[in-house]
Structure 1
Amino acid sequence: MGTPGTASEGGAQPGAIPDDALGLAVGLDALRWQDSLDLRAEFADYAAMGVRWLRTDLNWASVQAQGPDSFDWGDMDRIVETAKTFGIQVLPVVGATPEWAWQDPESPSPPKDPKAYGRFLKAAVERYAPRGIHTWEIWNEPNLKGPFPPRPDPVAYAALLKEASLAIRAADPGATIVLGGLAAATSTRLFGNSPAIAAVDFLETVYAEGAGDSFDAVGFHPYTGSDLPDLEARRNSWGLMAGPIRDIMIAHGDKAKAIWITEYGAPTNEDGGGVSEARQAEQLAASHALAQETPWLGPLFWYSYRDLGNDPSDREDWFGLMTGDNRPKPARAALESILSRQP
């Protein structure tokens, strides 16, 4: 895998994510509602598999729900403290605008003042850098409507990224900043049920807005349906990274920066359009192998740990290494096999 941005310059500091890391990506809502015993049991299982890195959400809207001077760090503190108990480091993904900061006072929207986001990041880094967190991902899939309502806006995102970078580097100069994992959208659709901006268009605009110096690595989510990862295939999301995304980075002088796969996985609702459990395991093994042999790829985070439900028509229910009733899928054994070979 490639060199993860700033952490490689002058030596990686403690808490920096190694370039060959294979971690788990687990959403905050899958963790925050568990009682202490269940949360500890889940993290103990992560550790039993050999997992040492966890990507999860730091939800700005929850922490500062009561206003710009209020802070409730309870959810993240529990996760960070439990992770530390089991020797697991956390990669926070910082997003979700609180209502008081909305640009549109009537509906979810980017912050009217990007500096409010920067102030939040400064407080977060000051709190968690002493606890070993030195890598920050700025938003999740900001080129999609869902994470960046009411519609994705690369100009607004670039403003947030610049403020985040200034705040993080002021509080922790050696920190690594990851541009929020882009969804592998190949076309821009600003109307209809699912507005999206093509990843290449989004990234090009971020550079055009002068935010190229505000990140150390590009996050990307190269989901491939039932296909195995393939850097040569034109219609494969991994090919999108190897071609247009990488080309844009090189054109802007960022050849030395890596692309981090901050989410990759596959749903196993085979009757609802997903893959077989055996195929999911193949995809996990193949993605790790390909990332290992590709110099410009950084860490890989597999999504996710446990199925969220069992609705055959809802793909979001089926991404786990484990079923909802805790039966291991073959992908779990694949992950354990890989991690058992790492130092």
Structure 2
Amino acid sequence: MLRKDRRKFLKWLTIITIFSSFLIILWMNQENNNNNSFPDKIPDGFGVNVHFNGDPIDVDLIEDAGFKIVRKDLFWDNVEKERGKYDFTKYDQLTNALIKEGIRPYYILAYSNTLYEANRSIVTKEGQEAFARYAEEATSRYKNKGIIWEIWNEPNIGFWEPKPNFNEYSSLVKKVSKVIKENDPSGVVVAPALSGLNEESLKWLEEIFKEGILDYIDAVSVHPYRVSNPETVGKDYQSLRELIDKYTNKEIAIISGEWGYSTAKGWNGLELTEKEQADYLVRMFFVNLLYDVPISIWYDWKNDGIDSNNGEHNFGLREHNVIKPKKGYMAINTLTYILSGYKLNERINIGDPDDYMLEFINENEDKVIVFWTSRNKQKTTLPLRVEGRVVSVLGEEKGYLKNKTTIELSSSPNYLILDN
């Protein structure tokens, strides 16, 4: 090859190499963006909170229910019982079991550790650095799995004692977020797992927003527990979005990281039957979708005890003996079976804000309409004629509607699977 031709060849080879490198970088960035994106198809954003470390029967049943996310505390004091020595054995079991079943882990980095801190909080420089090392160990060990990493749980109430100086918690978030993003680019960073979604809790949240934590997280996680029906959350989400927009121009998602209803007798003044809990569960998931909340975690997987009067013992979708399902389990199983692969397309206006008719659609243009009311049972006139079979919230076939323009709404959601 002539010297002139060789120079021309090397010049083009250099250009091609640079261009190829540029494409690879673009692809990698796109992959990271995909990893950090939030799901939009059912049931990819539906999850459940657990209190176990990977019992095979539980994981199998969770997968059978259709859940795609499992939220669990990754207790610091369980992992580091001696300074500088970390044992993740029990969490390895859970992580491996979840990943095997195609379930995304959602791990809470929590709480304090008496090796470094006197109280259930991080208030010293030594404690903060030690917590960051624990986070570094966890995120390095479980990297590249698309894990949702949550920094603490409900620091606005008793899970952080004494009550936090806003700077202390915010400083921890900033430090730990950097560790997570460096060690696990596939991960999603969320905080603060806010207890309650009301005027008081939003005032607390604004104080940490003032400290600038929105620049360090991918989503704001909240726990919108309430003793009213799930539909009442709409105005609270609106208040939260306005607060987020006040402090950042960044696109910040809202995650419902924990929310459930107990069937305990008289829990917070409520007397919910299993069936009513099941109705609320399904309505909660749908209402969250309606308000652009991409991830919803139900609390709890199974009853934590057998006392029918204890609120904490009765949040589960299954009994304390996990072999026995509650009606809530049947309801989530029905939801994920019927709507797997579907997206929320629109809310159909039927004239009353308390009446809900949501249209879901999949890639094949198949449509399912889910309908209920937050008031008393009633009939409503539809803006369209519908044909298809109706399935109850628990999966029971309720008949076939043909060329109908009226439909009966109740507090229990029904699925209308439309003919093509």
**For 2:155 and 2:30, how far apart are their aligned partners in 1?**
31
Aligned 8 A contact 1:268 1:318 in 2: yes
Deviation of residue 15 (structure 1)? Answer: 8.1
Deviation of residue 250 (structure 1)? Answer: 0.8
Deviation of residue 25 (structure 1)? Answer: 3.0
**For 2:76 and 2:303, how far apart are their aligned partners in 1?**
25
Match among 295, 303, 317 for residue 299 of structure 2: 303
Q: CA RMSD in A?
A: 2.2
Counterpart AA for 1:308: D
Match among 68, 71, 93 for residue 108 of structure 2: 93
Name the TM-score, length of structure 1 as normaliser: 0.81
**For 2:313 and 2:86, how far apart are their aligned partners in 1?**
31
* Residue-by-residue CA offset, 1:31-62 (whole Å, 9 max, x unaligned): 14xxx7xx001111111112221111111121
Aligned 8 A contact 1:178 1:218 in 2: yes
Which structure has the larger Rg? 2
> What's the secondary structure of 1:129's corresponding residue?
coil
The reply to whether residue 24 of structure 1 matches residue 47 of structure 2 is: yes
Aligned 8 A contact 1:19 1:299 in 2: no
For residues 21-170 of structure 1, the aligned pairs below 5 Å read: 21-27=44-50, 30-32=51-53, 39-67=55-83, 69-102=84-117, 105=118, 107-113=119-125, 114-130=128-144, 132-145=145-158, 147-170=159-182
Match of 2:313 in 1: 317
Identical amino acids, percent of aligned pairs: 24
Aligned 8 A contact 2:197 2:223 in 1: no
Counterpart AA for 2:241: R
**For 1:276 and 1:178, how far apart are their aligned partners in 2?**
33
- Per mean C-alpha deviation after superposition, the further-off stretch among 301-310 and 318-327 is 318-327
Aligned 8 A contact 1:222 1:238 in 2: no
Aligned 8 A contact 1:260 1:299 in 2: yes
Name the TM-score, length of structure 2 as normaliser: 0.67
**For 1:142 and 1:62, how far apart are their aligned partners in 2?**
19
Match of 2:19 in 1: none
> What's the secondary structure of 1:144's corresponding residue?
coil
* Residue-by-residue CA offset, 1:94-139 (whole Å, 9 max, x unaligned): 111111121xx3x433251223222222221111014x14421111
Segments of 5+ residues of structure 1 without an aligned counterpart are 1-8, 188-197, 231-235
The reply to whether residue 200 of structure 1 matches residue 202 of structure 2 is: yes
Aligned 8 A contact 1:22 1:302 in 2: no
Greater fraction strand? 2
Query: After TM superposition, where is structure 1 displaced by more than 6 Å over at least 4 residues in a row?
Result: none
Which one scores higher on RCO, CA 8 angstroms, separation ≥ 6? 1
**For 2:161 and 2:340, how far apart are their aligned partners in 1?**
40
